[in-house]
Each structure stands twice: as structure tokens, then as C-alpha cells.
Amino acid sequence: MATAPQKVPMSPHEPNKYINYQRIEDNLGVVRKRLNRPLTLSEKILYGHLDNAAEQDIQRGVSYLQLRPDRVVCQDATAQMALLQFMSAGIPDVAVPSSVHCDHLILGENGAASDLARAKDINKEVYDFLATTCAKYNLGFWGPGSGIIHQIVIENYAFPGALMIGTDSHTPNAGGLGAAAVGVGGADAVDVMAGIPWELKCPKAIGVKLTGRLGGWTSPKDIILEVAGILTVKGGTGAIVEYFGSGVDTVSATGMGTICNMGAEIGATTSVFPFTQSMHRYLVATGRPEIAEASKQFAHNLRADEGAKYDEIVEVNLSELEPRINGPFTPDLMTPLKKFKDTAKEKDWPQDVSACLIGSCTNSSYEDMTRAASLAKEAMEAGLKVKSDFIVTPGSEQIRATTERDGLLEIFRAAGGNILANACGPCIGQWARHDVKHGERNTILTSYNRNFTGRNDGNPATHGFVASPEVVTAMAFGGSTNFNPITDTLTTPSGKPFKFTPPNGVELPERGFDAGENTYQAPPADRASISVQVSPDSQRLQLLQPFKAWDGKDIENVPILIKVKGKCTTDHISMAGPWLKYRGHLDNISNNMLIGATNSENGKANSVRNQVTNEFDTVPGTARFYKAEGIPWIVIGDENYGEGSSREHAAMSVRFLGGAAVIVKSFARIHETNLKKQGLLPLTFHNPKDYDRISPEDKVSIVGLKTLTPGKPLTLRVNKPTGEQIDITVDHTFNENQITWFHAGSALNYIAGSNK
């Protein structure tokens, strides 16, 4: 076997943990002999991390791979439940380098200083729990104010060829540094932290060929907005999106991160770029020259083989690409900027732009901030101020400190902008808006990644559009959907016409990055004396009790809690925003279960018929009634059910309140896995049209569970109120290992039982 670079630390924070390029080299030697064909980059990374390369079955879209990731990362909202589960497994410390990042619980309202101080106060119990648990079990801890998990990861932890998992759907951001970084539920994170191989269905490979060069107003954001418009929100499901072609070398590492980040919006397992000189530059600039050189030496395994085959190829000519604006209500509804004005009028979208928001994990790189600031500076020099609320969210303390030092944040403030804390903020609904009433139609533009109904401000009438930070900044000065910053002019206070020139920016700061305040807590050398306490009276945290094991019987004649109509994301199933404070308390968070889903029976949200009392109640209220009566129930859903966030609460709450199965036309990848992990039955209609044969008042049985085996369908027996009985075939994707989770009652039960 060839020799790979040795003894290169994985990160500055873990000098005694080393990158294992040799494992990738050795595994690929085995796999190449077995497959005898060229490999894509994503295949090289995945197969290079196989637990048993010699015996692993490898078929794209078919096999379940057993993998050994290099790292686990968790954000604070999902880390609570992940760590509670890890504690329940009875394991003394994490088996792989892991970290927790406090970014989700900070409400954006008045500005960075006051918002951060308030968050530290009201979330003290949770932050103390996370800090203590990390110290106890040997995880790194990034405190509130340090920044958004994905920005911290690309600055400190990501490296070319890495396999990482993270408890957030935008973990793929690390693909900007050539890592295969996959968003997962907390139960998957627990597996890896416990030293158990991580299971992933062998992804297909979608190739995106980039040619030409970006220029003028066009940015990396426009590449993924274009790809989202082509592939749609489920076009990447079950696949890794891999970028290649001459255009790749013209994109910065942080620009690649933007593209990979939003790959979550097309349902992709992850997205990844080959090693480039921009990655080398970024690694050096962020204090990791040893990794930069090691990656350069290992570059033959950090790009696709010549002649590698993709299951699908999309081509984008960067020289011809123009700015895009995607939305509203879905990130794949793509409109070219030049057509946005007319489309907005045709669709009757609200004309006045109430707010423009830039930053977030997707677009707060130094390059993004300098390009946006160049436009703001130019407009201010002409005497203009923003017409819309203008909000800036730095992605990390390092970005905040560097852009503050270099005068960029002062430009935004002078233009009328409000600088929020280094946190997720409005991107995930942590935004206290006071300028519009609930239910009031309005338009906002963001450089974020996701724009589902009510996503940013909890207002279902807010029309959220996603664009590049440059376009969003310029639109803040225009204040209207009728304004095209490339072609139109604005009138200055002196009465003169003003037209923006194309934005210009800098890839990396000339004076280097300023790290700012140190908010990192390394795990102590002596952890034996540390104890983790959870008050039984806490409303924020709750120790977990094991779910009951399967009783060995079919599910017989149970009610349908809700037949969901239309789009049902994890935001519909388990809302964020004000509910984030209960992410560590399963009972309390379950009070938001499916309250955003539309009931097909009456077209309303959070209003379902109780089949026992025949009265309408909330979804959680009805579920709690059934649970108290010992009555299991099921959910019927539509296409791409559970798309969006990786939050496992959307599965755990269903299980906690007595759900037995979720039966839909199709699932989003992460949510389907999360349901399996919690001992539920995620099933799909063999014929999607059978969805229409089921009514909310029906009762159903699931037949065949005693002989549940991979690839063998089950029967959904539908009992109509008239006495009619219909048998419908439903499919599942359980493998042998996952069936043991179902039998045990959950994957965590199985792990805990194995450790006794």
C-alpha cells in the first residue's frame, strides 16, 4: 500500500488526534481491487472510511454502508437530546473527537450585546448542562457568542477528505473544505460517539459540472440557487452532489461552503468539492498549514478518478450564470433577478421589502461581507440610506472581530444596519420582529438557506426570498421588489440618479483573521470528579425514560391521528422559534408536535378529530388522549415528508405521544432514519395514489410485523366506518440491523442493552 501523510493533527484544539489519511489509502486499495472501476470523490471519502472494506457490500442506492466518521459536531438545540441519550447509554466518554456549539438559543431583537446577555441569562440552565456534560464526557464546548456551528467547523475542524456527521441539516457546509459532512439526528450522533459504526445507505452520485468563471454580480450563492431550481427540494434525495469541472478552481473555499450548505435544500445526503488551491489558502489563513500541505500531498485521493461515472450530471456555465432570487415559501422556486420584478407583479407578491437580512452560516464569510460592504459604502457615499430594515448576522466571533477591525461592520451600521449576535438568529426563527403584525403580508429577502412558511419570523404571511448577500444588500436600499440593482437607478437626496456598480470583495483578509474573544472550553484532563445534574422540576431539561419494546404483535385497528395534506417539513412537525427552549425536555417539546401540519379533513392546522369523542382538539391534545387510553395511532403524509432540519424531536415526539407508524408517499432521508431510530415504522405507499384511498376517520391495521424482513412489504388494512375493508401494500427500507431497533423499542434501547 502507498504511504499517506502521517501525524498531522486534526485541529489546533486537538493536537493529539491525527488525520488518518492512511486508512483512506488502505481502504481504497481494497475497494479498487473489488470494484475495478474509477471512483467519484464522494465514493473515495465514504469507502475510505468503511469499517470493513474487504467485506462491505457496495452498491449505490442499495447497500447500507458501515462507516467510521472522523468527527461528530452538535449544535446546542439538538445537543441537549443527543447528550441525554448518550448519558442513558452508560458510556464513560466519546469514542471520536466531538464538540457542541451554542448558536441556536439566542433571540435576535435589539443587537448583539443585549441579545447575547439575555440569552446567557435565560438559557443558563441549558448552557451549564451542556458545558458540564461536555467536560464530563470529553467533548469540546463552544459557548454562546462563539458563532454558528458550521462557520466554526469550517474555521477549525473541517479538512479535505474528512467524514463528519453533525446534528444539523446544514452540516454539509464543511464540503467547502472537501469534507463529506452529513446532517443526522441525535441518535446517529450517539452511535458514533459510542464507538458504533455509523450506518448510511450507499448514496448515488450526482455530478455538477462547473465551467467558466463567476463575474460581476454573480456569486457562489447563485450556483446553488440555480441547482436548486433544476433539481428541486427532493432531487438530491439519496445522493451526494459532487462538483467538478474547470469552474471549480475559480470559486473560493468559503464560496464552496455556501454551495454545499444549501445542498440540504435539495435533499442531498451531502455535497462536496475536490481539493483546490483556494482550500489550501483558507487552511493556511485559519492557522492549519500542516493540514494544507498534507492535503496537497494526498490530492490524488481528494478528487474524482478520470472516467468516474455519475448517476446524473447537471452542467452550469458560470460565465453565463446571472443572479437568482428563490422563493417564496420554498427554496427551489427559482426566478432570475432580471425577471423578478415582473414575476412579483404577476404573482401579487407584496411589493415593499420590509426587511433584508445578510449573514448566517450560509453567507457570512469575509468575502461575502466585503462584497456586501462595497455596495453599502457606495450607496452611502451617494447619500443613500437603507429603506428596509437591514440586519447583519456574523457567522462567528472570528468573522465578527475581523470585520469589525477592518471597518466593514461600521459601514453596515452607518447605512442603518443592526448587527446581531454571532448566532443563527432569524435564519431559524429566533427573531423578535416588531415591524409587522402576525398575519400581515410582507416580503423579506435573506442570504440564508431556507424559507419555508413562517420559518424566519413565525408569520405564515411573510414571503421569504433567498438571494446572495450582495443582492440582498442592494435591495435594502431599493426597498421594493420593483427594483433591479443591476439595471435600475435610485434617486439620491440631491436629486441625482444613482446606479450600483458591481460588487467587489476580498477572498481573505490581508492582515489575517482576528480570533476575537476566546469562548472555547476544552475538556479537562481529570473528568472523574465532574457530575451532571438535571433537576426533576426543570422545564428545560428532562432525563429520558426508555421507550417500550415491540410487543411482538401486529398493529390492530388504530386511529389516524392526522392525514397531512401537502408540504410537511420538520418545521411543521416540530417547530423551532419559541419552542427551542424545550429541546432538552421531551414532554414539553411534544406539545408542538405536528401543530403546523395541514389536516386534510378540514384544511386547518392543529385541529384534528378525536375518533373516540368525535370532537376536534389540537394534534398534541388528541395524541395525549389516545396515549392515556392506551390507543396507538398513526400519521398519514404526503410527498417528501420530513424535509428540512435534522431535528429528531420530530420523530421522538411522535413516539413519546404514542405514535406507532408514519405512512407517506415519500420521506426525506434524515427524518426517515430518525423515525427508525425511535422504534417507529416509517412506511411508504407502494402506489402513491393509495394516499387518496384513506380518509382521516378510517382505522387501520399494519399486518406482517411478525415476519418483518428487509425488502418484504407490509399490508396496511384500512377499515372504513361503513364496514368496508381495503388492503394496501406499503413498503419499508429497514435492513436487518434496523429491525433490531424496532424490536428493542429504539436504537438507544438496543445500544444500552448491548452495553450491559
CA nearest 381: which of 482, 475, 477?
477
Distance between CA 470 and CA 323 in Å, rounded? 10
- The one-character DSSP state at 348 is T
- What residues contact 363, with CB distance under 8 A and at least 6 apart? 221, 258, 447, 448, 468, 469
Distance between CA 563 and CA 402 in Å, rounded? 50
298 alpha carbon, distance to own chain's centre = 29
In the numeric block, which cell numbers belong to residue 692? 387518496
CA-based radius of gyration for the chain: 25
End-to-end CA distance of the chain: 39
State the sign of the Cα–Cα–Cα–Cα dihedral 660, 663, 668, 672. Answer: positive
CB of 471 closer than 8 Å to CB of 484: no
In the numeric block, which cell numbers belong to residue 278? 483556494
CA nearest 408: which of 450, 381, 376?
376
Distance between CA 585 and CA 543 in Å, rounded? 8
DSSP string covering 555-609: EEEEEEEEEB-S---HHHHB--GGGGGGTB-HHHHGGGBTTTSBBTTTS-BS-EE
List the 389-393 sheet strands across, edge first. 334-336, 324-326, 462-466, 442-446, 353-359, 389-393, 417-419
CB of 615 closer than 8 Å to CB of 212: no
Q: What residues does 631 pair with on adjacent strands? A: none
CB of 670 closer than 8 Å to CB of 185: yes
Residues with catalytic function: 103-104, 168, 450, 645, 647
Distance between CA 413 and CA 409 in Å, rounded? 6
List, in sequence order, the alpha helices (H) in 454-563. 469-478
- The one-character DSSP state at 629 is T
- What residues contact 242, with CB distance under 8 A and at least 6 apart? 40, 41, 42, 205, 206, 207, 208, 271, 272, 273, 304, 310
Distance between CA 376 and CA 398 in Å, rounded? 22
Q: Exposed (0-12), middle (13-18) or buried (19+): which is 113, by Cβ within 10 Å?
A: exposed
- The one-character DSSP state at 635 is E
Q: Residues 547, 551, 557, CA angle at the centre, nearest 5°? A: 105
Q: Residues 493, 498, 504, CA angle at the centre, nearest 5°? A: 125
Identify the helix (H) or strand (E) that includes residue 168: none
